[in-house]
Structure 1
Amino acid sequence: MRMTLTETTAISLLSQGLLLAVILWVLESRQAIANRLLACLLLAMTTRLLALILSEERFVQEWRTEVTILHNTVLLIGPFLYLYARSLVHHPTRLQSRDIWHGLPFLLAITWNLVARQRYLLPLDDPDLIQLTAQHGLASSVSLLTYGLLTLRLLQRYRLSLLDKYTAIERISLDWLRNIAGLVLLLAASGAGLNLLRLAAGWPPDPARWIVLPASAALFYGVAIFGFRQSLVLFQRSDRSSAEAGEEPEGGPQPSNLATQAPRYQRSGLDPDRAARLWDKLQRLMQTEQLHLQPELQVDTLAVALGVRQQTLSEVLNTHAGMRFYDYINGLRVEEARRLMIDPQNAGLSLLDIAMAAGFSSKSTFNKYFKQVFEQTPSEYRRQHMP
């Protein structure tokens, strides 16, 4: 039996997925739960790819029941994606007993396949079979949409919690996983649309399969590459973030200017006089010690230097500066970078050198905040103000 190029490529991806899953499962790491959930996610995606390959008519005629059951693994992709993201955020030592309920739709789907086995043996162009498979595909899309949204919500809350504690979040912000969740939502929405067309017009499955197969392969590769890289990253955190403690960060989208950010603690329990004294003390501390020049400065370090608890420091920043710790420190760094930039003695320094000297750990963060404050890029500002 001669295989097509697409089938050969997909089978190659399957082999890589199985190998990565085994490596992740046995890998000794402080993130063992996350690694094993990632392995399960890759296995679910691998099985889904196998089901799409075997959906070719020449395979389906011989292994109809097996192919139908394999297609149900799409109902595991969403749960494993969400549980994997949750494990990266909360760092659990084990899964919760109620997590088993995430697999209930998968078990129900398999049970239904076995009970209604004869209906799945109808000819491939039979209208009843097309309707049945379209309903199954629509249910799968709804599952992916639901878990994709839950994952994005979890990661957004996690990112907001980081802004209250860290000034360098590039390595721990999990932006790659947010992009993966967004891609899952896009594919799920597309799949829902295709299956609605099939329900309405009896559209056969083959055209949709050749759209879903390469998209699923691309998604699989993205999860495999970035997930394996993530498994090698150890988060350097002195204590649990507010996301780990179950706190729900507030706040909305970032405005265009740091100085206009609304306070997060609208009803602070901190005495106004004490808050004002702490704010003045913080200002003097930053001027004399220049702690913002430390690239890895964290909120607990600054709180100790100020002699207060982390929550107290966060309240002071939100009530007096109207911004989070992340924005406050990077605002000071932007001002330091501006000072260095217009100093004639620094004419030979590159913008990257200036960013590093000001305490930034990445040029992208420097560019973002500089433009947010001065409404122009660092290079534009330097050209205009350099003597």
Structure 2
Amino acid sequence: MQSLLNQLVYFGFFQSLLLLFIYGLSPKNRKRINGYMAFFIGIVSFGLVGKVLYTAGIGNYNFRLISLSELSALLFGPTIFLFSRSIVQRKSFTKQDLVHYLPALVYVIFVLVYFVIPNDTVISGRAKTGELMRVIYACHAIGLVVNIAYWLKGWQLLMTFKTEVQNELSYEPQTQFLHNFLIITGICLLVWTGLLLTSFLGFDMLERNARPYIWILLVLIILFITYYGMIAPQVLQLLPVRKQEVKKYTQSKLSATDLDRLKERLDILMIEKKPYLNSKLLKGELAEMLGVNNPELARLLNENIGMNFFEYVNYYRIKEFVALAKTEKAQQLTFFGLAQEAGFHSKTTFNKSFKKLMGSSPSAYFDKNL
């Protein structure tokens, strides 16, 4: 079993080096890759270096090689957060972002001074008194607190982003990679927490024996990134900033009567011109067609209709889909083919929207009604 674990660590290490080689030496790929993701791969690679050297017996199995891996421990959380921010907010790296790495810098200095620089006699003395293990557990606890705090910040960014885009977009943006990436790194932190708790409960040998599995989780992250890099290279890139005019509007002053009239106009617009057939429809585009500004349309949807933009547009797409399903075209297309004709961009979005509105899946609904 230990041999298999070692082989997986070797594989993940060399896989990470290959990714860095591909993205580092190719000017084209270097421009395309998200810098935070490249840095994250580098962190994982460095974290595996000590384990690889120690496993290979280099340096006569000197424990300091394992300590080298600890140098990257506090770099994970901040990088995960900054990577998430770069995706959902399209923010590039600035000098001010270096403040997020200050805890990691302090931690690196401490690890070097306490674990790496002292000679074997000093380390042995600390081990005999139990001081060494207490410091190790304290370092693990600090690393967990910092990394979990930053992971939560990244997760909050993603959840906030998903909520906000429903007020602007009629489709779901491709955030599956970021979602899965945060889930996998979150699992790593959860396992790390579990191992630390077992030590505090008196099962320190269990923690020591299970610790190699943390390296396997790091390998899985490398494989996950490699997989996505092969099937969808664009998910590792910064999302392009759309070059469009940003208009600032004053607060809406429409009366209740104005909103009622506007609702009638909107209903006529949706029925006659069917803007929802545009799978990439934006709220700003619909507001322009209606002759109002963005905040006024938002107020109309929220106060008079009781839906956000995403729900409202997909409501009409579902109606269009049901109508199409009763025509001869339904004999030639699948459910998703009809959904695309109705303006849906994603099969997942279509299924979720249909079930939320109609109370059942498309197949169950039509088995009952047709």
Assess same fold via TM > 0.5. Answer: yes
Distance (whole Å) between structure 1 residues aligned to residue 146 and residue 132 of structure 2: 21
Residue of structure 2 aligned with 1:364, choices 348, 358, 365: 348
Q: Verify the 8 A CA contact 1:34 1:88 in the aligned structure 2.
A: no
3-state SS of paired residue (2:211): helix
Partner in structure 1 of residue 93 of structure 2: 95
Partner letter of residue 231 of structure 1? L
Q: How many residues align?
A: 358
Partner of 2:164: 161
Question: Of the candidates 145, 150, 167, which is equivalent to residue 148 of structure 2?
Answer: 145
Task: Give the corresponding residue for 2:190.
Answer: 189
Partner amino acid for 2:330? N
8 Å contact from structure 2 (residues 228, 235) kept in 1: yes
Superposition pairs of residues 279-298 of structure 1, within 5 angstroms? 279-298=263-282
Q: Is the 8 A contact 1:81 1:151 kept in 2?
A: yes
Q: Are 1:37 and 1:83, in contact at CA under 8 Å, matched by a contact in 2?
A: yes
What is the match of residue 320 of structure 1? 304
Residues 249-328 of structure 1: matches in 2 within 5 Å? 270-328=254-312
Report if the CA contact (8 A) 1:42-1:224 is conserved.
no
Secondary structure, aligned partner of 1:14: helix
Aligned residue identity for 1:104: L
The equivalent position to 1:128 in structure 2, one of 126, 131, 136, is 131
State the one-letter code of the partner of 2:269: L
- Looking at structure 1, the residues matched to 237 and 87 of structure 2 have their Cα atoms a distance apart, in angstroms, of 12
Single out whichever of 286-295 and 6-15 deviates more from structure 2: 6-15
Cα deviation, residue 177, structure 1: 1.2
For the residues of structure 2 that align with 1:347 and 1:296, how far apart are their CA atoms? 26
CA contact (8 A) 1:21 1:38 kept: no
The answer to whether the aligner puts 1:105 opposite 2:108 as a matched pair is: no
Show the 5 A alignment for 1:58-73. Answer: 58=57, 62-73=61-72
Does the Cα contact within 8 Å between 1:72 and 1:109 map onto a contact in 2?
A: yes
Kindly tell me: are residues 309 and 64 of structure 1, through their superposed partners in 2, closer, same or farther at Cα, counting changes over 3 Å? same
Q: Is the 8 A contact 1:11 1:50 kept in 2?
A: no
Point out where structure 2 has 5 or more consecutive residues left out of the alignment. none
In the TM superposition, residue 39 of structure 1 has moved relative to its aligned partner by: 0.5
Structure with the higher helix share, 1 or 2? 2
Distance in 2 (CA, whole Å) between partners of 1:369 and 1:287 is: 19
Q: How does 1:208-247 map to 2 (within 5 A)?
A: 208-226=210-228, 228-231=233-236, 235=240, 237=242, 239=244
Q: Give the aligned residue type for 2:194.
A: G
The aligned amino acid for 2:68 is I
What amino acid maps onto 2:177 in structure 1? W
After TM superposition, give the deviation of residue 362 of structure 1 in Å: 2.1
Alpha-carbon distance in structure 2 between the residues aligned to 1:234 and 1:43: 21
Q: Report the more deviating stretch, 326-335 or 7-16.
A: 7-16
Structure-1 separation of matches of 2:263 and 2:327: 29
Structure 1 residue 149: deviation in Å? 0.6
Look up the equivalent residue of 1:78 and give its one-letter code.
G
Instruction: Name the CA distance, whole Å, in 1 between partners of 2:159 and 2:28.
Output: 25
C-alpha distance after superposition, 1:229-275 (max 9, x if no partner): 4135855846499xxx9xxxxxxxxxxxxxxxxxxxxx975432222
Distance, in Å, in 1 between the alignment partners of 2:46 and 2:72 is 7
Percent sequence identity is 23
Shift of 1:207: 1.0
Cα offset, 1:210, TM superposition: 2.2
Q: CA deviation at 1:328?
A: 0.5
Gaps of at least 5 residues in structure 1 are 246-266
Post-superposition offset of 1:124: 11
Contact 2:177 2:235 in 1 (8 A): no
Provide the rounded CA distance (Å) in 2 between the counterparts of 1:178 and 1:60. 40
- Residue 195 of structure 1: CA displacement? 1.4
Given that residues 23 and 30 in structure 2 are in contact (C-alpha distance below 8 angstroms), is that contact kept between their aligned partners in structure 1? no
C-alpha distance 239-27 of structure 1, shift in aligned 2 (>3 A): farther
Structure 1 contact 293–358 (Cα < 8 Å) conserved: yes
Residues 34, 155 of structure 1: alpha-carbon distance in 2 compared, 3 angstrom cutoff: farther
Partner Cα distance (1:347, 1:233) in 2? 41
Note if contact 1:145-1:188 (Cα within 8 Å) is conserved in structure 2.
yes
Partner of 2:47: 48
